[in-house]
Structure 1
Amino acid sequence: MATLSASKALTLAAPLSLDSGQVLEDVQIAYETYGELAADKSNAILVTHALTGDQYLASKHPITGKPGWWERRVGSGKPIDTSRYFVICANVIGSCLGSTGPASIAPDGQPYAMRFPVITIRDMVRGLVGLLDGMGIERLHAIVGGSMGGMQALSLAANWPERAERVLVIASTSRHSAQNIAFHELGRQAIMADPNWQDGDYYASGASPDAGLAVARMAAHITYLSEDGLTDKFGRNLQDRDTKSFGFDADFQVESYLRYQGSGFTRRFDANSYLYITRAMDYFDLAEEHGGRLANAFAGSQARFCLVSFDSDWLYPTAESRHVVHALNAAGAAVSFVELSAPYGHDSFLLDVPALDRVVKGFLE
């Protein structure tokens, strides 16, 4: 995995107490900002990223050179308009793009590796709240997140209800299903079965568990797509050949695509971070955190909520969003909901869906 120096970073003023009971000292949060913060600090929007995302929301990624992962929606005149809003995106703790995680140096001078404490979504949000405190931002105009970012948005709304006026949750859920946990466990086992994983202590060896991480990414990537989308894009078309090889090369275009996704991922992500973040997602259950009833999480909330799902998303299907909407209604919160039609599966929130642009822009205004 390539190393990265964060362009902006803040060390939290206080140690970070975690749900596990452990404490992290000198936590660093890497982040990017876009636009100008108003004098009264009333125009800040926090955008939270998904599992393999990062702080490079609308700027070129320093490792891959690719455009920011939501550049289509964040910028001057775009749905999240940086001529009006001050937009913040931070790398979550446990990740590997500048924030404190398994690859970070522990107090003894060695990488944490598997000594890094297991974290939760709520711990990630604790780090984000610490960042906002360090920036002197008491209340956000909005928090916006898709997928795991939506989990963070819901967690902030439930546990720090005074910190955001608007909460926009896209293609997400209030708890991980057994099926989603199963896919994550497949990925984790692929990493840990790679001989180069070395029980997580691979940083000084020069040999990372890239093969296992690539398989984990391939398996996860399938869940981000839809059957119709895969069929339309690849079908059973062969890759750079006229006939089957009668071997185990990438005969089909879809095989080649998945291999490309897997190998590219290993250049920008850390295998141990993948273990920790997927575990945090699996532990996420907002109802469990609030007495077993999801509506309790939002009792008395003064924020406005908007939930968005996609009809082709089978990872976090519309029923998951409706479940949250029903809980918000039971709590008396102001909530709107829309299911959008798009052929791209779960990844629709990252792709060109004009209807999503209109929802985002309208809700933030």
Structure 2
Amino acid sequence: MPERLGRLVLPELTLDSGKTLAPLELAYSVNGDPAPDGSNVVLVVHALTGSHHLVGPDVPGLPGAWWDTMVGPGKALDTDRHCVVAFNNLCSPYGSTAPCTPDPATGCPRAMAFPVVSCRDMARAQALGLEALGIPRLGAVVGGSLGGMIALEWAAQFPERVDRCAVIAAPARVYPQAIAYNEVQRQAILADPDWREGNYAPGPGPVRGLSNARMLAMITYRSERSFSSRWMRDVARGNPHEWDGQFQVESYLHHHGAELVRRFDANCYLYLTRAMDLHDLAAGRGDPVEALRGFRGKPLLAVGIASDLLFPNWQVEEVARLASSAGAEGAYEEIESDNGHDSFLIDFDQLDEILRGFWLRTGF
């Protein structure tokens, strides 16, 4: 059965900030058929610049399917048994309410007048979306990076609606170094004269700023070993003793910067990185153990990456320890790879084995 894409329009969402988003639009995908009680439903939450399009051929206006190797008949998320649902995160430019969404009152993008949105807000929006789809609970929620933070918020906010949780390459709170990386990326966008205080016309916008932001991000997504093993000091073109020369690693970064500019919105990038910075399970809940107390007795798997620079493996292992302290069935596993933070999008063989094992141990 092919992936089914749709869009929901919901009345409103009250945000952590106290502000209201109205109306609330959520783009979504469904792969497989949900059980009436939702017990076979897996909610997959995408990362920073991903989308709800998980499998199948290219769809106009959306990036390519990013979990084709993990979702489908006989795969780790087996659509013969599981129903896999994904929403486009709030603030993403692929169909859900975002800074690039026209204001109903003016018809113009809301840009920087859009309210700041948190991972908690994103989880609440998804909960409203599932209600609208008639799905009362989840057999599992799975997310990587930003998606893993939102998955953790599901465990904290809606423990009665989630049977198990898998958090991949995401911490219980974002530590200062990751916030620092995000801030430098944002400053690259804000310093671009074409940003125009966020009020750039539809089209290219702050191309240089967004490209530079992505270049820095790509450094945090990979590891020193991955760069060295692929290119070391290989030259892509010209003579590095002249300014028209370029090392291969430079060419790689410029390529990924240009690729993101072609498909993403700069203001959305600002808001999504800020949502990541705000992630802290303990905020307003006393401490992270108390935040997960409602998930006691339920399985929570944290998957770290040995070479992760952005969210080091010890930060992800901390999630499993906190879950265990809260009375949940916390467990930690690790992807052994030199590919850095992006390993969960590259080393599918290891992730496939880890998720299959988790389902088997927890009767899913």
The answer to whether the superposition gives a TM-score over 0.5 is yes
Preserved CA contact (<8 Å) 1:175 1:286: yes
Contact between 2:119 and 2:153, CA under 8 Å: does it hold in 1?
yes
Q: Alignment partner for residue 156 of structure 2, among 141, 155, 158?
A: 158
Alignment deviations for residues 200-255 of structure 1 (CA, whole Å, 9 cap, x no partner) = 11135x441111000000001110001101111111001145xx243333511111
- Verify the 8 A CA contact 2:222 2:339 in the aligned structure 1: yes
**Amino acid aligned to 1:299:** R
Which of 30, 34, 44 is the aligned partner of 2:41?
44
Q: 2:87 aligns with which of 85, 90, 93?
A: 90
Q: How far did 1:129 drift?
A: 0.6
Match for 1:231 among 220, 225, 228? 228
Match of 1:216 in 2: 213
Which residue pairs with 2:298 in the alignment? Answer: 303
Residues 253 and 230 (structure 1 numbering): CA distance in 2 closer, same or farther, change over 3 Å?
same
Alignment match of 1:263 (pick from 258, 275, 287): 258
Q: Work out the CA distance in 2 between the residues paired with 1:164 and 1:284.
A: 20
Unaligned runs of 5+ in 1: 1-5
With 320-329 and 81-90 compared, the bigger mean Cα shift is at 320-329
What are the equivalent positions in structure 2 for 1:104-253 lying under 5 Å apart?
Answer: 104-108=101-105, 109-204=107-202, 206-241=203-238, 244-249=239-244, 251-253=246-248
1:319 maps onto 2:321 in alignment? no
Q: Which amino acid aligns with 2:293?
A: A
Separation in 2, partners of 1:144, 1:331:
20
Cα separation, 1, equivalents of 2:60 and 2:190: 25
Q: Which deviations, in whole Å up to 9, do the C-alpha atoms of 1:322-356 show, x marking residues without a partner?
A: 22222112111112111231111100111134222
Partner of 2:351: 356
Whether 1:276 aligns to 2:271 is: yes
AA aligned to 1:258 is L
2:341 corresponding residue in structure 1 = 346
Q: 1:313 to 1:64 in 2, by over 3 A?
A: farther
Please say if residues 111 and 203 of structure 1, whose CA atoms lie closer than 8 Å, have aligned partners that are also in contact.
no
Distance in structure 2 (CA, Å) of the matches to 1:245 and 1:363: 49
Counterpart AA for 2:109: P
| Contact 1:342–1:353 under 8 Å retained in 2 | no
Find the residue that maps to 2:283 and give its secondary structure: helix
8 A contact 1:312–1:343 mirrored in 2: yes
Match of 2:99 in 1: 102
Counterpart in the other structure of 2:31: 34
**Uncovered stretches (5+) of structure 2, i.e. residues with no partner:** none
TM-score calculated relative to the size of structure 1: 0.93
Q: Contact 1:103 / 1:112 at 8 angstroms: preserved in 2?
A: yes
Give secondary structure in 2 for the equivalent of 1:239: strand
- Post-superposition Cα deviations, 1:289-341, rounded to whole Å, max 9, x if no partner, equal 311x1100111324311111111112111111222222112111112111231
**Change beyond 3 A, Cα 1:207–1:331:** closer
Asked if structure 1 preserves the Cα contact closer than 8 Å seen for 2:31 and 2:85, the reply is: yes
CA-atom RMSD, angstroms? 1.7
The farther-off stretch of 295-304 and 192-201 is 295-304
Q: Distance in 2 between matches of 1:217 and 1:250?
A: 21
Structure 2 counterpart of 1:217, which letter?
R
Partner of 1:3: none
Aligned length: 355
Q: Is the 8 A contact 1:158 1:297 kept in 2?
A: yes
Rounded Cα–Cα distance in structure 1 between residues aligned with 2:84 and 2:108: 34
Give 1:257's aligned amino acid: Y
Does the aligned pair in 2 maintain the 1:103–1:203 contact within 8 Å? Answer: no
Asked if structure 1 preserves the Cα contact closer than 8 Å seen for 2:235 and 2:248, the reply is yes
Percent identity (aligned)? 43
Distance 1:52 1:194 in 2: 20
